[in-house]
Chain A
Amino acid sequence: MSETAFAMTGGRVSYEGKPVLRGIDLTVRPGEVVALLGANGSGKSTLVRALLGLTPLTGGQTLVYGRPPARFRDWWRIGYVPQRLQVGGGVPATVREVVASGRIARQSRLRRTSAADRAAVSDALEAVRLADRAGDPVQSLSGGQQQRVLIARALAGEPDTYVMDEPTAGVDAETQRLLADTLSGLVGAGKTVVLVAHELGPLEPVITRGVVIREGRVAHDGRPPRPEGDCARPGHEHQHPHAPEHVTSPVAGPLTGWQGEPS
């Protein structure tokens, strides 16, 4: 079996005839911490979804640990943190129940919850510092805490590779720092991470590779671009609401900050 987590060659995705990804080549090797960067609407979220097979490719191919997503079986190796503003369905679920659902890829249908399952869930809750809220309905948590629940759900599965779609979007500074600490821990344990980010913020030191997506293509791949201008000031809290899709004209490149010229 291939140890390369993701290998996409010539990946194309169109939504109703409109191209979103226009030929992406991306290989993610074990131990890498890759940040997918780019303006809103650049296709970075579509790219992670395509890497996981959640969005079908209209051209090219992608492999998850050496197999096309449809024929990949070892899903326990992947921990996915989707981009969500709200966790949960129409019925309350406790924080522990949601986090425990991260074990699903490791559980067989008829086996009961094991001691290993319970230990992994408790560890994950500790890691995101929500152990004291384990019995509360997830719907009663703040946005940042709900994001931590989703991260804990991925941690509970003890995967080899984490895929996080905007884990820092719309969360408080404390959660961002907590995520940075968690990521350092994962990197230390030799895990692979692919994350989509609008801004790196406190995550910057742990990122080993930055891939900038511009208009559905890879515009920069290598050293994570350093923020410049106002964004580079020490203590700068770069928090702002997401710009609407059409205000995406400043594009990032290796010579500017990855978000383009600071506005």
Chain B
Amino acid sequence: MIVELLQEELFQLALVAALLVGLCAPAVGTFIVQRRLSLLGDGIGHVALTGVALGFLTGTAPVLTAVLVSIAGAVAIELVRARGRTSGDVALALMFYGGIAGGVLLMAIAPGGSNAKLNSYLFGAIASVTVEDIWVIGALAAAVIAVVLIFGRELFVLCQDEEMARASGLPVRFLSLLIAVTAALTVVIAMRVVGLLLVSALMVIPVATSQQLTRGFRTTMGLAMVFGVLASVGGLLASTYSSRVPPGAAIVLLALAGFVLALGVGKFVRRGRTQESTLSERPKLRVEEVA
């Protein structure tokens, strides 16, 4: 059955999109989870909906307007975050609601807008991916991977310890914006596959799954990318068995199932690890334990 499917152009396009998303989302997600910004993707996803609707309203390709608006949204979120005020939390929430509400409203008044179109962006419509979409997604994916390869070392330091990054002379503001913009690009890539409401799932769940089993940052990212591809391609295949299985939801649920499995396996791995380290070194009394 898969062999027949592979000869269909629609399925080929969907498969390429799923592969690219499965690779990119966890790669960026690893930095975002390390920075403890797991919900950043959700925020950008909400804002991106307004971008999609603007595309319909102005007759431009929705993917392109989504890129522009979600980059603007990501930069705004980063600026609010960097100010570090407690009110920033509320400011972010306001932006997210505005993004969804604005998107729904603009979509309703746009000439080509319909509930079906809205749904396809909110929950993904991998089966309707066009050749043009694949070019855009491919270019964005190349940009995301290039950022990870070129700036990975600096982004690791930034996300690990921002103060240390500053004291090492790294361009902290530039790198912070870079990671936010890269997350925005990833959101747009994943938008067609899992939908804006589930975009963040592919950035976070494979990373959470991977870190149950790994010890280091690099291996966490590598394994997360493997899990990301398994989930996105697996979910796509699952959805081909019945037209009633939505691919976006199937991909996310598969990723979650993988997480639950890894949680169990990880407990075993860690138990072995603690025994090993207690044998090699007896933990010493620490002041903070006494206090």
Contact = CB atoms under 8 A, between A and B. Distances in A.
Interface of A: 52-54, 72-76, 78, 80, 82, 84-85, 87-94, 96-98, 101, 104-105, 107, 109-110, 132-133, 135-137, 140, 142-144, 153, 157, 163, 169-172, 174, 239-242
Contacts of A140: 273-274, 277
Interface string B1-28: 0000000000000000000000000000
B33 A142 contact: no
B30 to A, nearest CB: 6
B242 interface: no
B167 A88 contact: no
A104 B38 contact: no
Contacts of B287: 143, 169-172, 239-241
Contacts of A142: 283-284, 286
B218 A104 contact: no
B147 to A, nearest CB: 12
A157 B167 CA distance: 12
Given A91-B33, A172-B285, 12 more contacts: A75-B169, A80-B164, A89-B35, A89-B160, A90-B35, A91-B217, A92-B211, A93-B216, A94-B215, A104-B157, A135-B216, A171-B287
A169 B167 CA distance: 21
Contacts of B36: 89-90
Secondary structure type dominating chain A contacts: loop
Interface in B254-283: 273-274, 277, 280, 283
B42 interface: no
B164 A91 contact: no
Contacts of A241: 287-288, 290-291
A104 B170 contact: yes
B211 to A, nearest CB: 5
Q: Closest 7 CB pairs between A and B?
A: A75-B169, A241-B291, A89-B34, A94-B216, A80-B167, A91-B34, A93-B217
B89 interface: no
Interface stretch (B72-80, B124-132, B148-156, B227-235): B148-156
